[in-house]
Amino acid sequence: MPELYFDLGSPYAYLAVERAPQVLGVAPVLRPVLLGAIFRARGSGSWARTEARAAGIAEVERRAAAYGLPPLRWPPGWPGNGLQAMRAAVWAEERGALDAFARAAYRRAFADGADITTVDALVAVAEEAGLPGGELPAALASDAIKARLREATDAAWARGVRGVPTLAIGGALHYGDDQLEAAAAAA
């Protein structure tokens, strides 16, 4: 089964999560990781905080249009601190609703242009995904959820994941939303 590593703050991962089921013919297993920790481990950060920001935004918007996705609307202050959002993703995964949660969060962020980094926003995303949003604030502070996100991120790094989206399929890792078709063909 293909696995797709993602972080909810990544617009490229949004493109991959939206397209992967159609391109691969099966919905991949989503694997939440904390991209900030991967950035620290590899010793470099996001293009969104460099002079390449405008070009990167234009490229993401171009790809979304080419893929037939809604026009991108950027959340205010993007990229924000996505730690709470990724803890919420781990919580949703424990409840068997990660796909619904991730899709709802991505659409709010990159189709609606909403900030999904606040607890209130994440509660609303959880409820949209059919989860008991009232349970989320306590879960975000739980040591178990924090540990699970760290463990998932460390395991991804050990596997060779150096950014998101990364698709693991057929024993190989494919980095980038633009690699989905090649990965499907190789598998």
CATH number, residue 68: 3.40.30.10
Q: Is the pLDDT of residue 12 over 80?
A: yes
Residue 149 host element (H or E): helix 143-159
Cα 90 to its chain centre, rounded Å, is 11
Q: Which two tokens stand for residue 136?
A: 């989320």
Q: What is the pLDDT of residue 45?
A: 85
Which of 142-146, 148-152, 180-184 bottoms out in mean pLDDT, i.e. has the lowest?
A: 180-184
Q: What is the pLDDT of residue 94?
A: 97
User: In sequence order, which residues have a C-beta less than 8 Å from that of residue 144 and are 6 or more positions away?
Assistant: none
Q: Band the pLDDT of 123: cuts 50, 70, 90.
A: very high
73-98 residue pLDDT tens? 999 999 999 999 999 999 999 999 99
Which of 42-46, 51-55, 67-71 bottoms out in mean pLDDT, i.e. has the lowest?
A: 42-46
List phi, psi (to 5°) of 21: -60, -40
Residue at 91: amino acid letter: W
Mean pLDDT of 109-113: 97
Q: What is the pLDDT of residue 170?
A: 86
% pLDDT > 90, the chain: 94
pTM comes to: 0.96
Q: Is the pLDDT of residue 187 over 80?
A: no
The total domain count for the chain is 1
Q: Domain limits at 110?
A: 3-186
The Cβ of residue 62 has, within 10 Å, a number of other Cβ atoms equal to: 11
Mean pLDDT of 42-67: 94
Q: What is the pLDDT of residue 124?
A: 98
Q: Which two tokens stand for residue 33?
A: 């990781």
Give the C-alpha separation, 63 to 67, whole Å. Answer: 6
Q: What is the pLDDT of residue 115?
A: 97
